[in-house]
Structures are given as C-alpha cells and as structure tokens.
Structure 1
Amino acid sequence: MKTLVCTLLLSMAMAFTASAQSSKLDELIEEGIALYDIGNYAGAVSSYKEALKLDKKNPTVNYELAMTYGAIGDYGNAVKYSNEVLKLKNANPGLKAQAYGIKGNALDMQGKPQQAISAYEEAIKLAPNNYMVYYNLGLTQYKLKNYAAAEQALIHAVQLNPNHASSHLLLGYTKQNQGKRTQSLLALYNFLLLEPTSERAATAYQEVRQMQQQGVTKGEGGKTMTINVGIPKGDDEFSAAEMMISLSQATALSDENKGKTEEEGFYNSTRSLFSILGELKEDKSSFWWDYYVDFFYSMKNAGNVEAMSYYVSQSSGKEAVANWLQEHQEQVAQLSSWYENYKR
C-alpha cells in the first residue's frame, strides 16, 4: 500500500513538473514572438534560446529562431535552425514548408541560388498553395536571368494571391526583360493599382509611360512621325497587339491631340490598350488573356479606366493628378466598388 501511494505521489509530481515546464515554454515562445514583432530581435533570440533549454526538439522554437536569424541577416544560423525543424518528426508539413522557405531565402542571400531553388521546390511539394514560396522562387530565377522559369513561378504566385503587389511588379519586369511589352504593361498596371504611391511605384509608372511611347518618335518640329514595329520572334500571341499599340500611340501624338494634358494622354493610351486587347481576345486563352486582359477589358467596359489612370499616376507627384482625384471622388469610389466585386 505504501509503495502504491509513493508511486502515485511520484507520478503526480512528474505531471506537475511537466505541466509547469510546458507553461514556461509557452511563455518564452510568446515572449519571443512579442519581442520579434517590435523589432527586438536580440531579445527574441534570447527568449528562444531559453526555450530550447526546456525542449530542444520543439519545432516552433526552432522555426522562430530560424526566422529571427533570417531577419537580422545571420543566414548561417537561419539555415541551421531551419534544418533543425526539417529533421523533427513532430513538425507538421506546413511548418516544414515555411522552414524550407526561410532556408531558401538564407541560401539565396548567401549566394547559393541553386540550393535556394531546391529548398523552394521542396517547400512547394509540402505546401503547394503558399504564394510567397512561389514569389521567392520567381525572384531567385529572375536574378539568375532564367526569365521563363521566373515567369511560371510568378504566375502561380499571382493566381494564389492576386493582391500581392510584388508578384505583379516582378512579373512585369520579367516580361520587360523578355522584350514582351504588352504583358509587361498589363502586370505593371496591376501592380500600380495595388500600390500607387510608393518609391517603386514611381519607377514602375515611368516604365509604363516609356513603354507606351516605345516605337513612336516625332521628327524635328513635330512634322513627321516614325513608327517602328518590331518583328516578333517565334509565335508571339501578342504580336497584333504590339502593332496596334504603336499605331494608337502615334494617334495620341498626332496634331489632333495637341493641347491635351499629359494625364489625359496617359488615360487615352491606357483606354486604347485595354480596348485593343479586349477586341483581339476572341477565342484566345492563356494566363495573360484570361487573367489580365479580361480584367482590364471588364474595367474599360464598366467605365472605370479614367479613374484607374489617375489613381495609378499618384506616384508622379503631379498636382493635376491629386486635384482630379479630389474632384472625382465618386468615380474613384465606383472603381473601388467594381474592383472589390470583380472575382478572379
């Protein structure tokens, strides 16, 4: 009887100790996360290290350490603790996918892009709906100038999260580097719609303006105009659009449009682009036609291109843009409502 009582007391003591340890572990993890969120990365590392003393095989603690080391640029430790997560049998697939993502980022920053790509591909196997992994994969491929591979990864990212501005931006630059003006314009327009006022928006806006005018030059005195239409290489699904865009831009620069403001010219060119593409679509079907062209042609048919043109021009810093938006709040609200209701 005495032995039984002792055994029960020992079991209760062990259970109490385990419970207290678990409570302390959770407290340290929460403390680390709170410190990370306010940018106190050194404090977060300290909390997680204390947590590891209680349970060195805890997947969450190892993951949080990997993420924190990645945030402070200690890529060696970011890889180390990501690998700790990947070795743990009690880590769920979602957490392992995120650990692969952190590992991929760290490897890329260490100048090991091929290893980073392998890490991203492993992450995708575990979590095929993680748009950030596809974006990071696209970014690494873009930096390697593997534009076709970058495009495919970024298309996945955009489809998984249409509101991720960076995916549209990088996709636009990817197509620009491939010499695909129409697709680049479409992606950059979408980026500007999501992020119209940042520094990178200012750069993207200027790229859009330059591509709109690409291939059309006016001679001295503005009396002659030259239109250069490049011959598409291979089977280019947007070759007809390229030609018509240049022709429409020539019309925009003609004498009959003298006196129009730069903002009005931008709007007219934008509306013309969306109209041309919508009319050319017919039975064409691909990501670019079904995702971007349908979207912008529907916007045009709903009468929202003017508001969109001024809205995406905000980074230009022009007073005329700010004044138009202030004076046409109802049109801007209509654009916003249409956008919220448009389902991709």
Structure 2
Amino acid sequence: MKKNILLLFSCLSFVLGFAQSEKAKALVNEGIVLHDKGEYDNAIKKYDAAIAEDANYIDAYYEKTFSLYSMKKYDECIELSKQVIKQFPDNPLLKAVYVQYGSSLDDQGKSADAIKIYNEGLKKFPGYFLLNFNKGITYSIMNDADKAYESYQEALVSNPFHASSYYRVGELLKSTNHIPAMMACIMQLIVEPETDRAATSFATLKELMFGSVKKTGDNSITITMDAGMLDTKKSKKKPDNFGMQEMIFNMSAALDKDSVMNTITKTEIEKFDLRLQLLISSLNDNEKGFFSERYVPFFKSMKENKYTMIVSRLVFAHTGEERNKIWLTANTGKTDEFYDWLKAYKWPAK
C-alpha cells in the first residue's frame, strides 16, 4: 500500500510539473508576441509570470533580457544576465544571454568589458557565430579594424550563411581590398537578396565592379588602381593578396566602355554576369588567406556549375527590375536548385 501511495505521489508530481512548465511556455510565447509588437513592458509581465510558474524555465529569463535590452534598460539586463549565468551555468541558451550581456555593456560605452564578456561566452560556447559577430562590431567601435575582421571571419567559419557578417566585411574592406569586398557583397546579396541592406551592398558592389574605369574622351579610357596594389614586395607577404588579379580584372573592365560590349550584353544583369565571370576567371587557386582559401574555390565551383546568371539575378532582385522580377517568379525551380547546391556546399573546416 505504501509503495502504491509513493507511486501515485510521484506520478502526480510529474503531471503537475509538466502542467506548470506548459503554462510557463505558453506565457513566454505570449510575451514574445507582445515583444514583437514593441510592447516590451507587457512582454516582461508575461515573462515574470512564467518565472513565477516555473523558476527553472530559462527561456523566460532569456526573453526578459532581450526585452530589457530592447528598452535600453542596460543595467537591468546586465544584472539579470549575471543571475541567469549563475543559475544555469551549463544551459546552451546561455550563449544568447551572453550576447545580450555584452551588447548592453557595449551600448553603455564599456567596449573593453563587452569584449571580456564575449570571450567568456566563447570559452563556454566556442565558435558561436553571434558572439564573434558582436565582438567584431565592438572592435569596429574601438577602431580596431584588424580584430573586427578576425571576429567576422570566425563568425563566417561557424555560419557561412550569416548575412550580417558579409555585410560588415564588405563595408570594412571596400576601401582596402576590393576583390574580397566584392565577394562579401555578393555573398550577402545571395543570402538576403531583398532586404533594406541589399541596396547598400549593391551600391558598393557596383562601384567596385565598374567604378575603376571611366570614359574620359571619345577614344580614351582611364583606369584607376590603388598604388599599394602594385607594390608587389609588400603585398606578396600579405594574405589575400589579390593585387595582380585586381589589375587584370580592372583592365578587362575597359571592354565595358567599348561598343563591342553592346553586341555581347544587352541588359545590366547580363553585363554584371559577364563581369562576374571575368572576376572569377581572374582568381588564382592555392593562395593563402581567408577569402583565397574559402571563397575562391566556392566562386569557381559556382561558375563551373553554371550558376553565375542566377546569382546575378539574385544580386539585382531588390531593385524590382520588372523583367528580372518576372524571371525569378517563373523560375523558382532554378533558384531552389541553386540554394540546394549552396546549402550542400562543403566549406573548409577552418
């Protein structure tokens, strides 16, 4: 009889605990809806109610840190983050809490402290791309471009489809290393072709693709190149040295100003696709550097698989150009095939 009572008590405790967790989960989901509407105070009330129901439901704490951060209540976000880290030391959701914690410090102007928190998070969750990405933003604020670039690289190693990292790299390199900047812009436009940021990346990409060549007379063309690119003694020692490739690519751009080009390409997308193919053809294998080792093989494989025109159409997708819009709508099977190839692509481990 005693065993039966204990068994009944255990079952009842399990059922009550399950019901309590389900109620907490429902409250958190209601809070998320309110948060997404910008009703942060009401969202926090839901999260507090969820915590009252189940003090061990970490999702409620995390979502509360997110709402506090969104309200710019940085001190409260920091204190709650500390509590959650102490209370749930091994929970995988902590990696997102570290993001809010570091971001709150960064927005308070405490960049060095933010870096410490991101690094603390990365010790527990090595390679978590958002911690590396946010660390890159903080280093950018600190005007340390080299460390920012290293952090964005780490983010992309962990997540090769992180559009924000590509966007930041494109902006970071557009004045110093044109070919990697072009590749970063193209990758961002592939991953998110129709977002608000697409226009910025598109403008940067077009300037890098076509801006080096100017027609200065009826029969004359001026090609502008960075003098540092021609200093082969210095540049050869640097990783991702695309100096010679950029020279070849820029000189080939003179074709775009020639009337012969009009017999080859008729639309802006066709012209871009030809430039993209010329760019890829100019790239060398077996060079050292982040873009040389990861993205040169990727772009060459893209060209070998005859996907450059689809990529060109995706690059122009945000412009709303009518014929391109019609093509993309009518050829979802082709774009799906490309994205399937992209998802299956085997990136280097590091």
Does the pair score TM above 0.5? yes
Pair 1:132-2:130 in alignment: yes
Residue by residue over 1:87-130, the C-alpha shift from the partner in whole angstroms, topping out at 9 and shown as x without a partner, is 33x53153443322210111222232222122111111110131
Q: 1:37 to 1:272 in 2, by over 3 A?
A: same
Q: Is the 8 A contact 1:263 1:310 kept in 2?
A: yes
2 CA distance for matches of 1:16 and 1:310?
59
- Provide the residue aligned with 1:32 in structure 2: 27
- What residue identity is the alignment partner of 2:157? Q
Q: Please give the secondary structure, in 1, of the residue aligned with 2:197.
A: helix
Aligned residues: 330
Task: State how far apart, in whole Å, the 1-side matches of 2:171 and 2:161 are.
Answer: 17
Shift of 1:224: 0.8
TM-score (norm 2): 0.83
Residue 27 of structure 1: how far off its partner (Å): 4.9
Aligned to 1:272: 278
Task: String of CA shifts for 1:154-195, please: whole Å, max 9, x gaps.
Answer: 111111111221111112112125x11111001110111111
* 4+ residue segments displaced more than 6 Å: 14-21, 54-58
TM-score by length of 1: 0.84
**What is the 5 A alignment of 1:287-306?**
287-306=290-309
Partner of 2:84: 85
CA RMSD in angstroms comes to: 3.0
CA distance in 2, matches of 1:332, 1:213: 26
Aligned counterparts of 2:79 and 2:145: Cα–Cα separation in 1: 30
CA contact (8 A) 1:171 1:184 kept: yes
SS in 1 for 2:214: strand
Tell whether the 8 Å contact from 2:28 to 2:60 is kept in structure 1 after alignment.
no
Counterpart AA for 1:270: L
Which of the pair has more CA radius of gyration? 1
Whole-angstrom distance in 1 between the partners of 2:77 and 2:57: 16
Alignment correspondent of 1:103: 101
1:269 aligned partner, one-letter code: R
Task: Determine if contact 1:93/1:127 at 8 Å carries over to the other structure.
Answer: no
Deviations 1:178-231 (A, max 9, x none): x111110011101111111112112211110111123211113x4210112222
Please, which of 216, 222, 226 is the counterpart of residue 222 of structure 2? 226
Return 267-276 or 30-39, whichever deviates more: 30-39
Counterparts of 1:125-164 in structure 2, within 5 Å, are 125-164=123-162
The match for 1:118 is: 116
| CA-to-aligned-CA distance 1:312-340 (integer Å, 9 cap, x gap) | 21112222322444566665455344334
CA distance in 2, matches of 1:35, 1:328: 39
Unmatched runs of 5 consecutive residues or more in structure 1: none
Cα gap change, 1:181 to 1:42, in 2 (>3 Å): same
Letter in 2 for 1:188: C
Aligned pairs for 1:66-81 within 5 A? 66-81=65-80
Q: Is the 8 A contact 1:192 1:312 kept in 2?
A: yes
Name stretches of at least 5 consecutive residues in structure 2 with no aligned partner.
none
Cα 1:326/1:93, change in 2 over 3 Å: closer
Q: Secondary structure of 1:199's partner?
A: coil
Q: Residues 138 and 32 (structure 1 numbering): CA distance in 2 closer, same or farther, change over 3 Å? A: farther
For 2:279, the aligned partner's letter is L
State the match for 2:242 in structure 1: 238
